[in-house]
Amino acid sequence: MKKQWSITGIAALLLAAASMPAQAVAYGTPTIALSASYLSGAVGAVGDPVVDVTVGQSGADASALTVSATASSKASVAGTGDVTVTGTGAVRQLAVAARGRGYTDLTVKVVGLGGKSATRTLSYAASAAVQNPADARYFTGSADASAAVEVGGGYAVVADDESNVLRLYDRSRSGAPVRTWDFGSQLGVTKEVDIEGGTLVGDTIYWTGSLGNNKDGEYKAPRNTVFTTELTGSGSSAQLTYGRSYKKLRDDLVSWDTANGNRYGFAAGTAAGQVPKQIDGFNVEGLEFAPGSTTTAYLGFRAPLAPAVPGGKALLVPVTNFDEVLSSGAEAVFGAGVELDLGGLSVRDVKKNAAGQYLILAGSWAADDNSDPYALYQWDGVPGHAPVKRADLPTTDPGGWEAVVAVPDLSVPGARVQLVTDSGSADLYGDGIEAKDLAHPEWKKARAAWFTLG
């Protein structure tokens, strides 16, 4: 028998349901995570690095949560009003506009539904403003940039003379490397090779150590290393694999110079107790192939000058079988030294483009405070032909000019070139700590800057 419901019975049930208390929604405590706990910026910078802020709350849609900076331990460096948070979903982007040089701890807070909240601390460091900040970018993770090789798509591999790590950066943006490679174990070394120069030929990148003594005048075998990496892909997809190495190039250079009357004093410059960065020292900082050649490479010397007196010429030494040195371990064969008038400066980097136009980054041989002159010279790569100065470089900002990323078409008016600094010895944040010794890699950085050539 079916049960019959009267209209009055149904009404009574509906009335009872309406009078029952509503079930309250239970919201959990919000969660918040930062993609990095440390962040570096610069006063007046364009495109400083950002931090991803990931938030959530059980029982709530992520878009209902709000994220903001609620406190700063030093507002003169960056206050809460200098923090911008963009995005509406589970992942937001947090940017900081620096007010002044120094450090501050920023409290980042997420507020969820039900009045619940959570916080994290972002430790922020700001370096001082530099000249032409719109043309500056900061490559973080390392302060000791020493060589750079463009690998297409607006990306470059940057070497570090304090480690054996190579880093891939987006040349247009400030921030951390896209990926890194540490070749120390494959090179069979536990100390730095002191990488100072690199160049790409086909799919092979050739790298050279400084080949000199360390700053205390001691011979360290890893520095007597040249090696190759093989490049696959390009741009953000670039990958490197280890190729081969050769660890006797310094010895070959000394033997060659000795056999030719000690013209450049290599034996004396490499002797025990001799520091490399002096006018008659021994220190390689540039590497590039001769015009139209895949076999002859120029080694560019920071020291010595030729002759080793103030106003002396910069020195390049051609290795005429450089490809065989790396591919088969053949003893190096040398051509006559190339002596170039760079106004008393020496080679800090040398790079060419596909048209055979060379740029030489010239600087002092000394281990100075980077206040000595720097300049860019154009050259055609032909021994006996004089280089022409294209620009004097500013020296008031931290870091020494160390690497040419790529050479533009130098025949085009207003051609622009990107250079990278070695900022390892710089006091970036005003606390007396050299950048290479900072505790957090996010605070270590090298500056890349664009210059228009005259």
- For residue 350, the domain's CATH number is 2.120.10
How does pLDDT run across 415-449, given as a tens digit for each residue? 999 999 999 999 999 999 999 999 999 999 999 99
Within-domain flag for 338: yes
**What is the distance between the alpha carbons of residues 427 and 371, in angstroms, rounded to a whole number?**
14
Res 24: pLDDT: 57
Within-domain flag for 17: no
How does pLDDT run across 183-228, given as a tens digit for each residue? 999 999 999 999 999 999 999 999 999 999 999 999 999 999 999 9
**What is the distance between the alpha carbons of residues 140 and 150, in angstroms, rounded to a whole number?**
17
Query: Do 244 and 221 fall into the same domain?
Result: yes
Query: Do 120 and 172 fall into the same domain?
Result: no
Last residue of a domain, one of 108, 127, 146: 127
Query: Do 177 and 83 fall into the same domain?
Result: no
How many folded domains does the chain comprise? Answer: 2
Query: Do 69 and 148 fall into the same domain?
Result: no
Within-domain flag for 1: no
- CA trace torsion 166, 172, 175, 176 (10° rounding): -30
Query: Do 88 and 199 fall into the same domain?
Result: no
Within-domain flag for 20: no
Query: Do 86 and 55 fall into the same domain?
Result: yes
For 217, phi and psi rounded to 5 degrees? 80, 20
Within-domain flag for 21: no
Query: Do 58 and 172 fall into the same domain?
Result: no
Read out DSSP for 283-352? EEEEEEEPTT-SS-EEEEEEEEEESSSTTPEEEEEEETTHHHHHHH-PPP-B---EEE-STT-EEEEEEE
Structure tokens at 265: 């004093």
Query: Do 351 and 395 fall into the same domain?
Result: yes
Last residue of a domain, one of 95, 112, 127: 127
**What is the distance between the alpha carbons of residues 415 and 80, in angstroms, rounded to a whole number?**
40
Query: Do 341 and 212 fall into the same domain?
Result: yes
Within-domain flag for 13: no
CATH of the domain at 96: 2.60.40.1080
Burial class of 11 by CB neighbour count within 10 A (0 to 12, 13 to 18, 19+) = exposed
Within-domain flag for 354: yes
Sequential pLDDT tens for the chain (454 residues) = 444 544 444 444 344 444 444 445 789 999 999 999 999 999 999 999 999 999 999 999 999 999 999 999 999 999 999 999 999 999 999 999 999 999 999 999 999 999 999 999 999 999 999 999 999 999 999 999 999 999 999 999 999 999 999 999 999 999 999 999 999 999 999 999 999 999 999 999 999 999 999 999 999 999 999 999 999 999 999 999 999 999 999 999 999 999 999 999 999 999 999 999 999 999 999 999 999 999 999 999 999 999 999 999 999 999 999 999 999 999 999 999 999 999 999 999 999 999 999 999 999 999 776 778 999 999 999 999 999 999 999 999 999 999 999 999 999 999 999 999 999 999 999 999 999 999 999 999 999 999 999 8
Query: Do 106 and 147 fall into the same domain?
Result: no
Within-domain flag for 304: yes
Query: Do 208 and 177 fall into the same domain?
Result: yes
Last residue of a domain, one of 106, 127, 148: 127
Range of the domain at 185: 133-452
The structure's pTM equals 0.92
Q: Under DSSP, is residue 80 helix (H, G, I), strand (E, B) or coil?
A: helix
Query: Do 260 and 365 fall into the same domain?
Result: yes
Res 21: pLDDT: 45
